[in-house]
């Protein structure tokens, strides 16, 4: 694919992802007011984590990474018929496997419910709500993995619009249900959250039908195929799935452990952490997806040509360009954590105490935004060289370290700070993981050229510091009782003014400090 085509596809994915994230933000604003950050939200967070884990394992994660290259190879060899047979065989085996997991999981839940007294479960009400939500959402695992499989096929065929628009369907259905719930103020939180789970299940079915329909329109008609399972390429797909699932599974199990430990930390901690993560994920998700889409094929092409200098140059310019956006975003989220949380979430069932709790987690997560972004650059560096094991080893180490630190946070910290400790553990382990990836990359490829980006990075941090000073000083005149704006406008308008002033200060400082470097803040590519 030519560079212009890569950028065009990256823009397409990024644009639809941005739309999905904005819809998700609207969804979270509505849900926080209707559900709050209490027991119902925590139960939902646990229940939704399970199908999400399966989606990342067998949908957008290991399955896509293992299947797409082999499927694309068949397509580029001019055999769409063979590619279709491969897709049908893999899809059939995946759906049968997920169906079996679904049956076993529901049966296991029934046994746990039956023997809950013997198991010594104390909070029966919260436990039964969690189980009910899990049973409702488990079939979503089947639907979303089928939809993600369709996404992989369409992406391999170079059709990115439908696959990148598909996540919007979930948010639209979710928002529609929240809007309907708002007309029934007498409805209890547990009833509301169950209605939301049903809407998610319906959205998953709609997503899968839509993606399979788009597959058929693209020439790959989905159908069950019970032959060819021992074909060498089908076996290769499953072997690669096993390798990829080990790393993805470790990360997802770690996330699930975080949620379970959050339940032990306090009844509301899981919901609070979930709200903070979604705020942090807004800048990270949009920009990270675009960079991930562009960098992997770019690095792969440069390594294939043995153009190590070009790869180093691309790595350096990518890190600088990414940091130009993510570092000020991290500074801004840190200093405005309270205001951002209050404007987006507070209201209805979401009170000022919940705002304080979420803002504390968000401030800690914002510190890690730069590290989370660095991982988006460094992991493709290894994958483009065919090295899947190094990121896997780093992930396993981070998972083990995070589990230990999370247990210590729950054990040692006061109740109101345990969720902050869980967030801090995630940030610390991400930082250590990034350092390990950089060191292992240097060992593998020699100097990475980071010395050339040291000066631009210092300038970016300096401009971000200027932005924070302006926001801090402006806050006294805008937010206080005697400020320029009425106290009643201490929500959206005040936050908008603070963000605008901070952005203006950052770009003014950038023009002053690094006018020359601004021209280079893009992903560079060399012509073949």
Compute the distance between CA of residue 349 and CA of residue 188 in angstroms, rounded to an integer. 11
Cβ proximity of 358 and 38 under 8 Å: no
Is the pLDDT confidence value at 33 over 80? yes
pLDDT at 528: 37
Cβ proximity of 11 and 293 under 8 Å: no
Cβ proximity of 153 and 94 under 8 Å: no
Quickly tell me which residue has 């499927």 as its tokens: 71
Per the structure block, which two tokens stand in for 99?
């169906």
* Predicted confidence band of residue 446 (pLDDT cuts 50, 70, 90): confident
pTM greater than 0.85 (yes/no): no
Q: What value does the mean pLDDT of the chain take?
A: 80
> What would the pLDDT profile of 118-133 be if each residue is shown by its tens digit?
665 655 677 788 888 9
Is the pLDDT confidence value at 255 over 80? no
Run of H or E including 227 = none
φ and ψ at residue 479, rounded to 5 degrees? -95, -25
pLDDT at 380: 76
In whole angstroms, what separates CA 202 from the centre of its chain? 22
> What mean pLDDT do residues 146-160 have?
79
Q: What are the angstrom distances between the C-alpha of 85 and each of 75, 155, 241, 290? A: 11, 17, 18, 31
CB atoms within 10 A of CB 188: 10
Q: Domain spans of the chain? A: 39-265, 268-528
Compute the distance between CA of residue 29 and CA of residue 175 in angstroms, rounded to an integer. 10
Is the pLDDT confidence value at 4 over 50? no
* Predicted confidence band of residue 284 (pLDDT cuts 50, 70, 90): confident
Q: b or e along 8-34 (b: 16 or more beta carbons within 10 Å of the residue's beta carbon)?
A: ebbebbbebbbbbbebbbebbbbbbbb
pLDDT at 117: 65
DSSP annotation of 188: -
* Dihedral sign, Cα of residue 486, residue 279, residue 460, residue 314: negative
* Predicted confidence band of residue 62 (pLDDT cuts 50, 70, 90): low
The residue among 311, 305, 300 whose CA lies nearest residue 445 is 311
Compute the distance between CA of residue 365 and CA of residue 332 in angstroms, rounded to an integer. 12
Is the pLDDT confidence value at 439 over 90? yes
Compare 134 and 127 and report the one with higher pLDDT: 134
The residue among 144, 197, 140, 178 whose CA lies nearest residue 23 is 178
pLDDT at 7: 46
pLDDT at 360: 93
Compute the distance between CA of residue 240 and CA of residue 223 in angstroms, rounded to an integer. 23
Is the pLDDT confidence value at 86 over 70? yes
According to the per-residue pLDDT averaged within each range, which of 78-87, 312-321, 503-512 is highest? 503-512
Residues above pLDDT 70, as percent of the chain = 80
Compare 313 and 197 and report the one with higher pLDDT: 197
Least confident of 141-150, 189-198, 247-256: 247-256
pLDDT at 179: 94
Compute the distance between CA of residue 407 and CA of residue 418 in angstroms, rounded to an integer. 10
pLDDT at 375: 83
Is the pLDDT confidence value at 294 over 70? no
* Dihedral sign, Cα of residue 62, residue 70, residue 313, residue 450: positive
pLDDT at 400: 87
pLDDT at 50: 80
* Predicted confidence band of residue 251 (pLDDT cuts 50, 70, 90): low
* Predicted confidence band of residue 25 (pLDDT cuts 50, 70, 90): confident
φ and ψ at residue 347, rounded to 5 degrees? 140, 150
Helix boundaries (H) for 186-336: 189-217, 232-265, 269-304, 308-335
SS3 519: coil
* Predicted confidence band of residue 248 (pLDDT cuts 50, 70, 90): low
Compare 196 and 280 and report the one with higher pLDDT: 196
Compute the distance between CA of residue 150 and CA of residue 221 in angstroms, rounded to an integer. 10
> What would the pLDDT profile of 301-312 be if each residue is shown by its tens digit?
677 678 888 888
Is the pLDDT confidence value at 507 over 80? yes
Per the structure block, which two tokens stand in for 453?
């980006």
pLDDT at 517: 63
Least confident of 370-374, 484-488, 515-519: 484-488
Is the pLDDT confidence value at 65 over 70? no
> What mean pLDDT do residues 457-476 have?
91
Helix boundaries (H) for 452-491: 454-478
The residue among 423, 395, 164 whose CA lies nearest residue 285 is 164
Cβ proximity of 134 and 54 under 8 Å: no
Is the pLDDT confidence value at 58 over 80? no
Is 436 buried (19+), middle (13-18) or exposed (0-12) by CB count in 10 A?
middle
> What mean pLDDT do residues 173-180 have?
94
pLDDT at 488: 43
pLDDT at 492: 77
SS3 429: helix
* Dihedral sign, Cα of residue 83, residue 101, residue 138, residue 13: negative
Q: What are the angstrom distances between the C-alpha of 287 and each of 13, 120, 123, 374, 519? A: 10, 46, 41, 12, 19
Compare 234 and 360 and report the one with higher pLDDT: 360
Least confident of 37-46, 183-192, 329-338, 503-512: 37-46
* Predicted confidence band of residue 330 (pLDDT cuts 50, 70, 90): very high
pLDDT at 2: 43
Compare 435 and 286 and report the one with higher pLDDT: 435
> What would the pLDDT profile of 101-122 be if each residue is shown by its tens digit?
889 988 888 887 777 666 656 5
Cβ proximity of 132 and 194 under 8 Å: yes
> Please, what is the end-to-end C-alpha distance for the chain in angstroms?
11
Compare 490 and 128 and report the one with higher pLDDT: 128
Q: What is the DSSP string of 306-353?
A: T-HHHHHHHHHHHHHHHHHHHHHHHHHHHHTHHHHHHHHH-BTTB-HH
Compute the distance between CA of residue 48 and CA of residue 130 in angstroms, rounded to an integer. 10
> What would the pLDDT profile of 371-415 be if each residue is shown by its tens digit?
888 887 887 788 667 677 788 788 888 888 988 998 898 888 988
Is the pLDDT confidence value at 292 over 70? no
Is the pLDDT confidence value at 482 over 80? no
Compute the distance between CA of residue 519 and CA of residue 497 in angstroms, rounded to an integer. 28
């Amino acid at each position: 694919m030519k560079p212009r085509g890569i950028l065009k596809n990256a823009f397409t994915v990024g644009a639809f992802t941005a739309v999905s994230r904005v819809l998700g933000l609207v969804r979270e604003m509505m849900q926080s007011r209707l559900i709050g950050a209490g027991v119902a939200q925590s139960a939902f967070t646990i229940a939704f984590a399970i199908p999400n884990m399966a989606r990342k394992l067998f949908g957008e994660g290991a399955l896509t990474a293992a299947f797409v290259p082999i499927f694309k190879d068949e397509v580029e060899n001019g055999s769409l018929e063979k590619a279709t047979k491969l897709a049908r065989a893999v899809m059939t085996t995946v759906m049968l496997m997920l169906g079996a997991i679904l049956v076993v999981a529901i049966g296991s839940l029934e046994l746990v419910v039956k023997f809950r007294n013997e198991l010594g479960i104390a909070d029966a009400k919260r436990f039964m709500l969690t189980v009910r939500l899990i049973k409702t959402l488990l079939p979503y695992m089947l639907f979303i993995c089928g939809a993600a499989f369709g996404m992989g096929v369409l992406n391999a065929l170079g059709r990115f619009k439908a696959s990148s628009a598909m996540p919007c369907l979930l948010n639209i259905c979710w928002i529609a249900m929240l809007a309907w719930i708002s007309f029934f103020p007498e409805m209890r939180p547990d009833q509301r959250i169950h209605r939301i789970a049903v809407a998610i299940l319906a959205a998953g079915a709609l997503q899968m039908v839509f993606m399979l329909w788009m597959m058929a329109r693209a020439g790959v008609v989905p159908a069950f195929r019970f032959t060819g399972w021992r074909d060498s390429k089908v076996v290769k797909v499953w072997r690669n799935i096993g390798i990829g699932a080990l790393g993805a599974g470790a990360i997802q199990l770690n996330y699930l452990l975080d949620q379970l430990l959050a339940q032990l930390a306090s009844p509301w901690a899981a919901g609070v952490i979930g709200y903070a993560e979604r705020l942090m994920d807004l800048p990270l998700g949009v920009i990270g997806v675009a960079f991930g889409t562009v960098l992997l094929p770019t690095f792969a092409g440069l390594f294939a040509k043995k153009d190590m200098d070009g790869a180093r140059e691309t790595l350096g310019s990518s890190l600088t360009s990414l940091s130009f956006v993510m570092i000020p975003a991290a500074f801004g989220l840190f200093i405005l954590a309270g205001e951002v949380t209050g404007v987006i979430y507070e209201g209805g069932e979401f009170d000022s105490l919940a705002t304080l709790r979420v803002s504390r987690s968000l401030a800690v997560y914002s510190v890690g935004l730069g590290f989370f972004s660095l991982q988006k650059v460094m992991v493709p560096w290894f994958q483009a060289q065919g090295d899947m094991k190094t990121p896997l080893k780093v992930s396993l180490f981070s998972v083990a370290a995070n589990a230990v630190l999370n247990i210590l946070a729950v054990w040692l910290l006061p109740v109101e700070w345990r969720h902050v400790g869980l967030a801090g553990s995630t940030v610390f382990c991400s930082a250590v993981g990034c350092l390990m990836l950089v060191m292992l990359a240097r060992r593998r490829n020699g100097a990475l050229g980071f010395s050339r980006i040291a000066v631009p990075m210092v300038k970016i941090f300096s401009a971000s510091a200027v932005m924070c000073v302006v926001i801090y000083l402006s806050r006294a005149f805008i937010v206080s009782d005697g400020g320029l704006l009425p106290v009643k406008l201490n929500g959206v308008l005040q936050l908008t003014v603070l963000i605008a002033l901070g952005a203006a200060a950052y770009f003014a400082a950038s023009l002053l400090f690094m006018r020359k470097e601004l021209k280079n803040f893009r992903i560079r590519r060399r012509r073949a």
